[in-house]
Amino acid sequence: MDKLNNIIGKNLVKLRINANLTQLQIAEKLNYSDKSVSKWERGESAPDISVLKTLADFYCVKVDDILKDEPNLTQSTNTKDKLHFLIGLSSGILVWLLATVCFTIFFNIPVLKSSAWYNFIVAIPLFFTVIMIFNIIWGKRLYSAIYCSCMIWTISISLDILLPFSTTWLVYIIAIPLQILTILWFFLSKMKSKK
């Protein structure tokens, strides 16, 4: 039984590292303590079968892969990353599809024809917002920070273009502290995950 616990522990460590997660992050996702996750990974104990199934589903592997002595775990994690990327990208493309549909409708209404292209200006920050949300869900902090920055500045540019006031340039002054907060959030969350 100790040998099986060690095999499970070794595989859980590989899966966690491949997913670029900490023991605390895994514990939070499973509603367990990080001490339990640590014990599993050291081979001192093994998670029960329902937790093994949850872990296997989370890492996009089979339970059998966690129990094998020399499994190929990297391909499944890469598959999961590719799947997450495709889902996020597809959702972002849906924003552009919606903008194109609205443009087509508004372009055929004589009163709205001249402002139909505004749909594409609004779609840019919405695209970055959707992508950012998916990256926050799947724990890609660096990408989330980049997309958040893109969202902040594209919203500022969109407001500057769309609003008819002469002082709309002031939105950039609001964007600067938001950008600083985004950078601070990234570094603080990175420091927290190292603990």
C-alpha span between 128 and 95 (Å, rounded): 10
Torsion on CA atoms 138, 139, 143, 145, rounded to nearest 10:
120
The confidence score (pLDDT) of residue 190 equals 76
Q: Which mean pLDDT values do the consecutive 10-residue runs of the chain (195 residues) have? A: 81 84 85 86 88 84 81 60 82 94 94 91 94 82 88 94 87 94 87 67
Q: What is the pLDDT of residue 17?
A: 85
The token duo for 90 is 């597809």
How far CA 83 is from CA of 79, 80, 89, 90, 92, in Å, comes to 6, 5, 10, 10, 14
Q: What is the pLDDT of residue 74?
A: 56
| Domain regions of the chain by residue span | 2-72, 80-194
Homologous superfamily, domain 2-72: lambda repressor-like DNA-binding domains (1.10.260.40)
What are all long-range contacts of 29-34, with beta carbons under 8 Å and residues at least 24 apart?
29/58, 30/54, 30/55
127 and 96 Cβ atoms separated by less than 8 Å: yes
| pLDDT value, residue 119 | 92
Question: How far is Cα 86 from Cα 41, in angstroms, rounded to an integer?
Answer: 31
pLDDT value of position 59 = 80
Per-residue pLDDT tens digits for 58-114? 887 888 888 887 766 555 556 677 787 888 889 989 999 999 999 999 999 999 888
